[in-house]
Amino acid sequence: MPSAQAHIAETFAPADVDRLRLVPADTGLALSEDAADLLFREAHTAYRFTDEPVSENQMRAVYDLVKWAPTAMNGQPLRITLVRSPEARERLIAQLGAGNRAKAQSAPEIAILSYDVDFHDNLPEVLPHAPKARDGFADEDSRHRFGSLNGAMQAAYFLLGVRAAGLAAGPMGGFDHAGVDAEFFPDGRQRSFLVVNIGHAAADGQFPRSPRLPYERVVTVA
């Protein structure tokens, strides 16, 4: 399988890669202004998309970044289901809230984000220095709490990964979670919590940037 570096090199033009490496002095950041714009300042939720496709290479490049997100005990409960076939898209769209269906229909790629209820089965592999870690998750309720919190943290990284590939994301929580689980995870071992539309935003596909709270109203020093 190609390396993460190979995926990223294929996703961006050489000039773009060089541009994103330029780090201005005295910003307090370790990334360039262009990279900060791409990931944060100029990126926001998309509601309509062009018909330009999202490639498998791009999604692999996204995951090759997202997999480095931190999770407790390196548990990595996030699971990503790329809904690509027309039949699967119809099944998913039927479970979305009425206001979200047109958004999903316009997206060339749709991802269901879920957490694996049995993530603990992987702990011997991903946390090899703690061979008994799996035994601490015999209670399924504790696994749901773990999966919900850590899966959400990974999902935030997923949105950043989508932006890093030069794509726009449209995360949606307005859907029948039980219905999606019944359609896509009938064995009950995954629980959906977010649907993300992915693609290139249409010219009229994003609302104007809404205000953000300033540092002084959010950050306190104890």
* pLDDT, tens digit, 9 for 90 and up, residues 36-77: 999 999 999 999 999 999 999 999 999 999 999 999 999 999
Do residues 117 and 185 share a domain?
A: yes
Mean pLDDT rounded to a whole number for the chain:
92
pTM listed for this prediction? 0.88
Q: Tell me which DSSP letter residue 208 carries.
A: P
In angstroms, the CA 116 to CA 118 distance is 5
In a domain, 210, yes or no: no
Res. 26 pLDDT band, cuts 50 70 90: confident
In angstroms, the CA 38 to CA 32 distance is 10
Do residues 54 and 29 share a domain?
A: no
* Count helices and strands in the chain by DSSP H and E runs: 10, 4
- Residue 196 falls in which region: left (phi positive, over 0), alpha (psi -120 to 50) or beta: beta
Helix (H) or strand (E) holding 91: helix 86-93
In a domain, 215, yes or no: no
Q: Tell me which DSSP letter residue 175 carries.
A: B
Do residues 76 and 60 share a domain?
A: yes
Do residues 6 and 99 share a domain?
A: no
In a domain, 217, yes or no: no
In a domain, 137, yes or no: yes
What is the per-residue pLDDT across 181-222, written as a single tens digit (0 to 9) for each? 999 999 999 999 999 999 999 999 999 999 999 999 999 999
**CATH number where 90 lies:** 3.40.109.10
Is the Cβ–Cβ distance between 123 and 130 less than 8 Å? yes
Do residues 30 and 91 share a domain?
A: no
Do residues 38 and 129 share a domain?
A: no
Paired with 194 in beta bridges are 113
Is the Cβ–Cβ distance between 213 and 181 less than 8 Å? no
In a domain, 212, yes or no: no
Domain of 193, in residue numbers: 45-203
Do residues 24 and 133 share a domain?
A: no
Do residues 109 and 126 share a domain?
A: yes
Rounded (5°) CA angle 39-156-93: 105
Could you give the number of structural domains in the chain?
A: 2
Do residues 175 and 113 share a domain?
A: yes
Do residues 117 and 37 share a domain?
A: no
